[in-house]
């Protein structure tokens, strides 16, 4: 293996284009090819960076020397495309969520294990330095026993957003506000708490958008240690609020807004253990193109270095699965989509 991973991208829409741009900043990867069933989309990226363009994933997988593929297609195709990549002997990097349904992620994990390839996920909001400081503080016991944890993503997406692609807002390929927008804070909640919660009840209606899935989601959680929790998300909250996670413990509490810690207090914590800043504006709350943040480069770089070093990536398959497990449990409790009760 060379010191750079030769990577391709399947899916050249908004997030695939973003991956292509951000990879130019990542020294551990070399973007060599892109693929899209709409050839014109792939051609734009290929011309910009002087790389190969293909009309299908299968065609790109024959590209000479290709090591890995970043899967940037609609969410409900992530596992299917990941399995195709793995069966070709290439490593798989999946955009969030790893799929809409946990059963499909399990199938992907099994294929990657059988083929001996690395499977990693994109949850870039784990990577900012201050978020890692919070994780270490919790693991080191500064918050004591967690008693409450919540995740919130109250954003605005207009009907034009859902009309921009036939897959958006569908149960087969996307899910709703919790699956597409809220999944980042769902992942952050489970990852920081270090526990997989049970869903006691949930409400996931479609209130204001013409779409199959939910534009509002609220869930009541119970963690294994008895702590309570809440997940809330929406794409009809006008004008859109900053997403965040709050965790309260017996010795301290933390409030995260976006990628900033706006409150941290813990008994016995040394000065500067966690950097606290005043919250800023969050353009992602109302602008889909601003939602990808600045930590994708770190996420992609860590995945590539994991391959080079022969280890699991930091956002490994099981951790990416945990967020979707909670997502599916919320939908099941709300009895929506595939879990709706026919009467």
1 has a pLDDT exceeding 50: no
Tokens describing residue 228:
């309570």
**Cis bond upstream, residue 239 (ω within 30):** yes
Q: For the domain 125-287, what is the CATH code? A: 3.30.360.10
Tokens describing residue 306:
């994991």
- pLDDT bin (cut points 50, 70, 90) of residue 278 is confident
Question: What is the predicted pLDDT for the residue at 152?
Answer: 98
- Residues of the chain with pLDDT > 90, as a percent, come to 93
- pLDDT bin (cut points 50, 70, 90) of residue 288 is low
What element of type H or E holds 228? strand 228-234
Q: Domain map of the chain by residue range?
A: 5-121+295-314, 125-287
342 has a pLDDT exceeding 90: no
Question: pTM for the complete prediction?
Answer: 0.94
CA–CA dist 252, 311 (Å, integer): 34
CA–CA dist 118, 102 (Å, integer): 18
Parallel/antiparallel/unpaired status of strands 91-94 and 119-121: parallel
- pLDDT bin (cut points 50, 70, 90) of residue 280 is low
CA–CA dist 17, 88 (Å, integer): 23
211 has a pLDDT exceeding 50: yes
Q: Mean pLDDT, to the nearest integer, of 59-82?
A: 98
CA–CA dist 224, 226 (Å, integer): 5
Task: Give domain 5-121+295-314's CATH superfamily.
Answer: NAD(P)-binding Rossmann-like Domain (3.40.50.720)
CA–CA dist 8, 35 (Å, integer): 8
- pLDDT bin (cut points 50, 70, 90) of residue 283 is low
Q: Mean pLDDT, to the nearest integer, of 220-227?
A: 98
Q: DSSP of 94-127, one letter per residue? A: EPSSS-SSHHHHHHHHHHHHHHT--EEE--GGG-
248 has a pLDDT exceeding 80: yes
Question: What is the predicted pLDDT for the residue at 341?
Answer: 76
CA–CA dist 151, 256 (Å, integer): 10
Question: What is the predicted pLDDT for the residue at 286?
Answer: 63
């Amino acid at each position: 293996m060379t010191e750079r991973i030769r990577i391709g991208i399947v899916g050249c829409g908004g997030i695939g284009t973003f991956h292509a741009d951000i990879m130019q900043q990542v020294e551990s990867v070399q973007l060599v090819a892109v693929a899209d069933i709409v050839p014109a989309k792939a051609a734009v990226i290929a011309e910009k960076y002087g790389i190969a363009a293909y009309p299908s994933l299968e065609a790109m997988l024959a590209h000479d020397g290709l090591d890995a593929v970043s899967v940037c297609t609609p969410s409900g195709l992530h596992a299917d495309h990941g399995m195709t990549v793995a069966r070709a002997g290439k490593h798989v990097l999946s955009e969030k969520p790893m799929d809409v349904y946990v059963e499909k992620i399990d199938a992907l994990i099994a294929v990657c294990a059988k083929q001996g390839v690395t499977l990693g996920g994109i949850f870039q909001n784990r990577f900012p330095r201050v978020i890692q400081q919070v994780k270490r503080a919790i693991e080191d016991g500064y918050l004591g026993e967690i008693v409450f944890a919540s995740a919130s993503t109250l954003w605005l997406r207009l009907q034009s957003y859902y009309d921009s692609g036939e897959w958006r807002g569908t149960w087969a390929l996307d899910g709703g506000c919790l699956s597409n927008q809220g999944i980042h804070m769902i992942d952050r909640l489970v990852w920081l708490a270090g526990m997989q919660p049970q869903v006691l009840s949930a409400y996931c209606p479609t209130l204001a958008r013409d779409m199959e899935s939910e534009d509002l989601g609220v869930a009541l959680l119970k963690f294994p240690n008895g702590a309570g929790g809440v997940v809330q998300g929406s794409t009809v909250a006008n004008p859109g609020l900053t997403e965040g996670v709050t965790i309260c413990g017996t010795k301290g509490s933390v409030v995260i807004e976006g990628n900033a810690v706006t409150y941290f207090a813990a008994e016995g914590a040394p000065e500067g253990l966690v950097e606290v800043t005043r919250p800023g504006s969050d353009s992602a709350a109302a602008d889909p193109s601003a939602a990808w943040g600045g930590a994708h480069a770190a996420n992609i770089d860590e995945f590539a270095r994991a391959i080079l070093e022969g280890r699991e990536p930091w956002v490994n398959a099981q951790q990416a699965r945990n967020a979707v497990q909670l997502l599916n449990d919320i939908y099941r409790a709300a009895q929506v989509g595939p879990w709706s009760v026919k009467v």
